[in-house]
């Protein structure tokens, strides 16, 4: 059971860690011809555990639409389940069960795949559309149908952009070089939402004019569900002005960082690399270009965990 393409295959597989330790991971590939998504879940389960992964409008476990790996006496199965406004699990019956084409592989890591259409087939199904999708998941054991899916052994929520714009980018010119501004081993606060700002000194080669031709996220493995969005700003101040080093909460940053507001790059959870057209690029650098910038990262930590360490940023 694998979505991962063979060498030379055109299929592109995306992934996101469902939990902070990346013990549970969701992979998906898009089938625009048939308006379907092929999913694959890798989960570390105990004997007898079920594992539910699904979607809801606001990231709540109530009123969710799930595909559930369920161990049974006849072997493991995939079952379509929806939850009501009290998080009680109900089965999709007959044609409404759209968790189709499933495969299961048991091992140290349980792997299961299933296919979902973009369109919903009943009022309890989730419509897969452009924009951010809330992925919700839960792990438990024992009876599920007729009982609460919430607050079992383990659960979580992450946000992704399931639908992508796929295409081939033009090759970069030979003179292209890569810059990766990041935070370094940052202990993320245990608040549910944190905006963290850090100043950086830009490479000295930007004393000459360059153009940004691509920008993408550079995320710490396992933190894909933690980093919600990021921006990278140039500090537009008179040449020769010194910008102090700062690494802390954005709402506490000194006034001297207010000019750090010209966007060089921006990214939101689930977004693919931003590539400029072959004939275009964002001008940066030059003889009087100030070599200071500021990285701003929004962390989404709804479980208020205190053990997150992050070194994310941009690859430009």
Residue 194 CA to residue 300 CA, distance in Å, equals 7
The candidate with the shortest Cα–Cα distance to 161, out of 67, 274, 261, is: 274
The count of C-alpha atoms lying within 13 angstroms of the C-alpha of 89, restricted to the half-sphere facing its C-beta, is: 25
Q: Where are the domains of the chain?
A: 13-160, 186-315
Inter-residue contact 159 to 269 (CB < 8 Å): yes
The count of C-alpha atoms lying within 13 angstroms of the C-alpha of 257, restricted to the half-sphere facing its C-beta, is: 21
Inter-residue contact 178 to 248 (CB < 8 Å): no
Is 179's pLDDT higher than 90?
yes
Is 97's pLDDT higher than 80?
no
Over range 235-264, report the average pLDDT.
94
Residue 243 CA to residue 292 CA, distance in Å, equals 7
C-beta atoms surrounding 63 within 10 Å: 16
Residue 302 CA to residue 275 CA, distance in Å, equals 31
Q: Tokens 């592109």 sit at which residue?
A: 12
Residue 115 CA to residue 37 CA, distance in Å, equals 6
The candidate with the shortest Cα–Cα distance to 159, out of 229, 104, 212, is: 229
pTM over 0.85: no
CATH class of 186-315: mainly beta
What backbone phi and psi angles, to 5 degrees, belong to 255? -60, -25
Whole-number pLDDT of residue 6: 41
Question: How does residue 167 score in pLDDT terms, banded at 50, 70 and 90?
Answer: low
**Close Cβ partners of 242 (under 8 Å, ≥ 6 residues apart):** none
Q: How confident is the model over 14-58, as pLDDT tens digits?
A: 888 888 777 899 999 988 888 889 999 999 998 899 999 999 888
Q: Is the dihedral of CA 244, 249, 252, 258 positive or negative?
A: positive
Question: How does residue 100 score in pLDDT terms, banded at 50, 70 and 90?
Answer: low
Residue 90 CA to residue 81 CA, distance in Å, equals 5
DSSP 84: -
Tell me which CATH code domain 13-160 carries: 2.60.40.1210
Question: How does residue 117 score in pLDDT terms, banded at 50, 70 and 90?
Answer: confident
């Amino acid at each position: 059971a694998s979505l991962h393409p063979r060498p030379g295959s055109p299929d592109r597989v995306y992934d996101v860690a469902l939990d902070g330790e990346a013990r549970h991971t969701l992979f998906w590939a898009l089938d625009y011809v048939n308006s379907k998504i092929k999913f694959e879940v890798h989960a570390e389960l105990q004997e007898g555990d079920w594992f539910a992964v699904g979607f809801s409008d606001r990231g709540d476990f109530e009123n969710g639409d799930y595909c559930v790996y369920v161990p049974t006496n006849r072997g493991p199965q995939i079952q379509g389940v929806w939850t009501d406004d009290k998080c009680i699990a109900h089965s999709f019956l007959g044609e409404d069960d759209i968790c189709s084409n499933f495969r299961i592989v048991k091992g140290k890591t349980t792997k299961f795949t299933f296919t979902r259409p973009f369109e919903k087939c009943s009022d309890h199904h989730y419509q897969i559309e452009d924009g951010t999708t809330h992925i919700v998941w839960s792990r438990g054991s024992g009876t599920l149908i007729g009982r609460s899916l919430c607050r079992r052994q383990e659960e979580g929520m992450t946000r992704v952009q399931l639908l992508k714009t796929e295409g081939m980018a033009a090759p970069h010119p030979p003179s292209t070089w890569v810059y990766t501004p990041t935070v370094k081993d940052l202990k993320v606060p245990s608040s549910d939402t944190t905006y963290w700002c850090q100043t950086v000194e830009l490479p000295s080669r930007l004393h000459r004019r360059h153009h940004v031709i691509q920008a993408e996220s550079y995320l710490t493995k396992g933190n894909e569900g933690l980093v919600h969005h990021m921006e990278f700003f140039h500090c537009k101040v008179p040449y020769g002005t010194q910008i102090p080093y700062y690494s802390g909460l954005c709402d506490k940053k000194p006034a001297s960082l207010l000019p750090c507001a010209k966007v060089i790059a921006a990214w939101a959870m689930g977004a693919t690399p931003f590539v400029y057209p072959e004939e275009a690029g964002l001008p940066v650098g030059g003889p009087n270009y100030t070599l200071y910038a500021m990285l701003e990262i929004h962390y989404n930590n709804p479980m208020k965990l205190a053990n997150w360490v992050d070194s994310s940023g941009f690859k430009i």
